[in-house]
Structures are given as C-alpha cells and as structure tokens.
Amino acid sequence: MSLTVWVTTLITLAIVLGFDFALALFNRNKETSLRSSIFWTLFYVALAVGFGFSLGSWATETARSEFFAGWITEYSLSFDNLFIFILILARLKVAKEREELVLLIGIVSSLFLRGIFIAAGSVVVNRFQWIFYFFGIFLIYTAYTLAKESEEEEWEEGRIIRFFRNKGASTFVLALIAIATTNVLFAFDSIPAIFGLTKDPYIIVTANVFALMGLRQLYFLIGGLMSKLIYLTEGLAFLLAFIGLKLILEAAASQDIHKIFGLHLPEISLSASLIVIIGTLLMTTAVSLIKDRKNAKSA
C-alpha cells in the first residue's frame, strides 16, 4: 500500500478509537446498558465489513479475502480473550461502572503490544522464511493446550499482581496490570495466526485493529453467551492447529520441499482457509447451542 493509504487509514482509525476512548471517559461512572452494547458492537462489526468489501474496489480481491480471513480469525480469538477478562474483573471485584474504562485501556495496550509484535514479525518473516516452522509449531502447541483446558478453570493472581496488591495498589490499577500482562500472551497467539493467512503488513494491522474495535462493548454482551458456547475453546483450538499446519507447509514450500517420504505436500489456498475458518465457527456455534438446549431440557 502507498504511504498516502497508510496515513489516511491510520488517521481514520485513530479518530474512531479516540472517539471510543472519549465515550468511555464520559461514561466512566455509569454502568453500560445492554442496548448501548448491542448498538456499538453492531456498529463496529458493520464498519469492519464495510472496510473489507471496499478493499476489493480500491485494492485487490486478494486483499479483501485476506482481510476477512484475518479479521474473522482475530475476532474469534478475541472471544476467548474476553472470557479471561471476565474472570479477571470478577475475581478482582471491579465495580461495574469502572469496567468500561478498564477494558478500553486494556484494549489500547493490546493495540500497542500487537503493533510492536507486527513490526518485529514483519522484519523477521521477510528475512527468515524458516521462522514459519516455529510459528506453526507454536500455534499447534497452543491449540493442544487450549483443547486441554477445563471449563472450570479460573484465572488466578500471579506474582506481579500479588506484588502490587501488597504495595497497596487499588483494584482499578490491579485490573489494568492483569489485563496488560495477559495481553502479551494473547499477542503471542494472534500474531502468528494472522501471519498464516497474510504477509501484507497493511492487512495485518487493519485486521487486528478492527478485531479489537468494539471489544469493550462486546464484553457486556457475552457474559451469558459464553456459558452457551460450550465448544468455543475446541473450535478455536482446531483453527489454531489448522493455521499452524498451513504455516509449516508454507515454510516447507519456501525451501523447495514439496514431498516428504514420497508424499506430496498440499498447498492450502486462502479461499480454502476462509471456508475452514467460517465453517468451523458456524459448526462450533451450532453444536454448542444444540448441546446447551439439551442440557436445559434435561435440567
């Protein structure tokens, strides 16, 4: 993308995020209503969809497909991230009227961290193609650990939080520190995942920013929904393993390795990736809701 496109996009996104930040500050002493959460969540989703479709007219069709694949994947991973945020805020007993501001500051810190990882990742990827082996193995390992997670698992305070608590830090500050530290771990998952779908820095940046937009409002919607999406973790684990495999295959192809033990290594196209991502999320949601309905009837 040209410098003009980059500057225009970043300024526009900064204005939107600035407006969101100002809104959170204005409502910092109010409890977020369900109606407001629904409106702003739909607004940011519509904004992302509109941007994605516009890419096909002023960029390329490939850019459009890469954006949607990246945005949907990052947005899906954000659901799992928000689940941890729910546990953190509940465990620390953050006041309802302060949750919105804590979440927004946490999201801004996440954007900052992802920006650093994206910049570093782009440099490394361009110089060392073999790094995709590491990314792929890391994502498959992450998928394995996700699949092992128990539904009863709860967030527990780490040493950093205990240290600041002993120093007399307020609940508000403890929540900010907890979310900031977990954001580092989230970035380690999300950045390799999107590199498995696109190598274009512009698409990576915009997909991540749009995926994080509206998370503050989405938080207030998914509290009850998370209990119904019983198989969300398994679905995300499958997606991470799939993208990890795709990265390993791409690393092998970049080194002219097309066969192993006489077997031809397949190439996973972007369109196939998009179908797998959407199909997995739809199936995960459908099976989860069916299971939840059966559980409700048998209760």
Q: Per residue in 236-267, pLDDT tens?
A: 888 889 888 888 888 887 777 877 777 888 88
Which residue type does 8 have?
A: T
What is the rounded distance in angstroms from the CA atom of residue 110 to the CA atom of residue 104?
10
What is the rounded distance in angstroms from the CA atom of residue 111 to the CA atom of residue 74?
12
What is the rounded distance in angstroms from the CA atom of residue 153 to the CA atom of residue 42?
30
What is the rounded distance in angstroms from the CA atom of residue 269 to the CA atom of residue 173?
45
pLDDT at 106: 77
Tell me which residue has tokens 């945020």: 85
Both tokens assigned to 272: 């196939």
Residue 229, Cα to own-chain centre: how many angstroms?
Answer: 17
Bridge partners (DSSP) of residue 133 are none
Tell me which residue has tokens 């990246």: 70
Q: Are 217 and 27 in contact (CB under 8 A)?
A: no
pLDDT at 48: 92
Both tokens assigned to 170: 């307020």
DSSP state letter for 30: S
Q: What is the DSSP annotation of 261-288?
A: TTEEPP---HHHHHHHHHHHHHHHHHHH
Task: Examine the pLDDT at 37 and tell me if it is beyond 90.
Answer: no
Both tokens assigned to 55: 């890419």
Query: Global pTM?
Result: 0.76
What is the rounded distance in angstroms from the CA atom of residue 89 to the CA atom of residue 161?
13
pLDDT, one tens digit per residue, over 105-117 is: 777 777 787 788 7
Domain total of the chain: 1
Domain coverage including residue 136:
3-255+264-298
Q: pLDDT band at 68, cuts 50/70/90?
A: very high
Which residue type does 115 have?
A: G
